[in-house]
Amino acid sequence: MEEEDELLEPVSPTAQCFNTSALSISVIAVVEFEIPIDEAKIMCYAKDFIPLNPLFSSIMTVNDVVVGMLFLGIRLYMEETRPESTKSNSTALVLLNTRMFRTYKCMEDMLNPNSNTPWGNRFAFLHIDIPKLTDFNLSNPLQLVEAAQKLIKRKRDSSAVFLVDKLMQMIHKFRGSEVYPNIIYIYIYIVLSSKYVYKTIKNSSLSISNLIGPKEKMALTGHPAKGMYFTVVGIPQSLKISVISYMENLRIAFGGEKEFIDQEKLTSCMKKAFDYIHKASIDVSI
């Protein structure tokens, strides 16, 4: 009976789109604890904690400054590895939360048919052109950050975000939460949605996902967490970047295609970009 109840637990509409024959995406989350864990105790508690505890939930957002720094690091990396690519066009796929309400909601509220915050993610894809280094002076890297801010603001306020959000909602409505006479119709709509997401991801050079994590220290069964990060696997891109904050500290994780992305050089370029922007910010504030 317990196994049957577990199978009946609803799956987010977006999660269904990410697990089909057209697209298979998984999210790997890592939590670092301050003390050795009691695996039996942790696993028993985490089963219910992860989907229900509001402190573990995160709100998707876009940090313009962080994105600007990442853009600068990526361009520095391209310049060092392939100088001829300095002037090439590159596009980043940035995920943006489109929920009307930004507060946390429990699963019971979201599963209510009349809920104003329905179950499932609500997001839009922002295709952002990565500014070229040739258009800016590295002596003032803040120019690139400002350019990234303007690009993101323009894209975020455009009608495209609204239309993409409505498209995803239509796909979810066609899928429906009730039982249809023909289950094949449900499967077709999910696969079509997956193909749309797949093409959207594939037509970009990299993806950036940014989450606001807990502001206070969290613990599982007496195991205090000192840090956390996540990454996404299964998407058709050579570079994935995930950003999450925890206790006012920022953690950035990179996922690169093996034997294509030079991890050490990419890390070095990202540190260099941070140093450039940090120094420029201090000089401006003096």
Question: Which domains, and CATH codes, for the chain?
Answer: 55-285 (3.30.559)
- Region 182-205: what's the mean pLDDT? 73
* Cα–Cα dist 54/240, whole Å: 26
What one-character-per-residue DSSP string does 125-184 give?
A: EEEEEPPPGGGS-TT-THHHHHHHHHHHHHHHTSHHHHHHHHHHHHHHHHH-SSPPS-HH
pLDDT at residue 212 is higher than 60: yes
pLDDT for 60: 45
| Pairing mode, strands 91-97 and 206-212 | parallel
Percent of the chain predicted with pLDDT > 70: 65
pLDDT for 9: 46
User: Highest-confidence range of 11-20, 155-164, 220-229, by mean pLDDT?
Assistant: 220-229
pLDDT band per the 50, 70, 90 thresholds, residue 4: very low
pLDDT for 184: 58
Close Cβ partners of 251 (under 8 Å, ≥ 6 residues apart): 227, 228, 229, 243, 244, 245
Q: Which residue has the higher pLDDT, 153 or 89?
A: 89
pLDDT band per the 50, 70, 90 thresholds, residue 75: very high
144-181 tens-digit pLDDT: 888 888 887 787 776 665 666 666 566 555 544 444 44
In this structure, the number of other CB atoms found within 10 A of the CB of residue 51 comes to 13
pLDDT for 6: 42
124-136 tens-digit pLDDT: 677 888 888 878 7
pLDDT at residue 106 is higher than 60: no
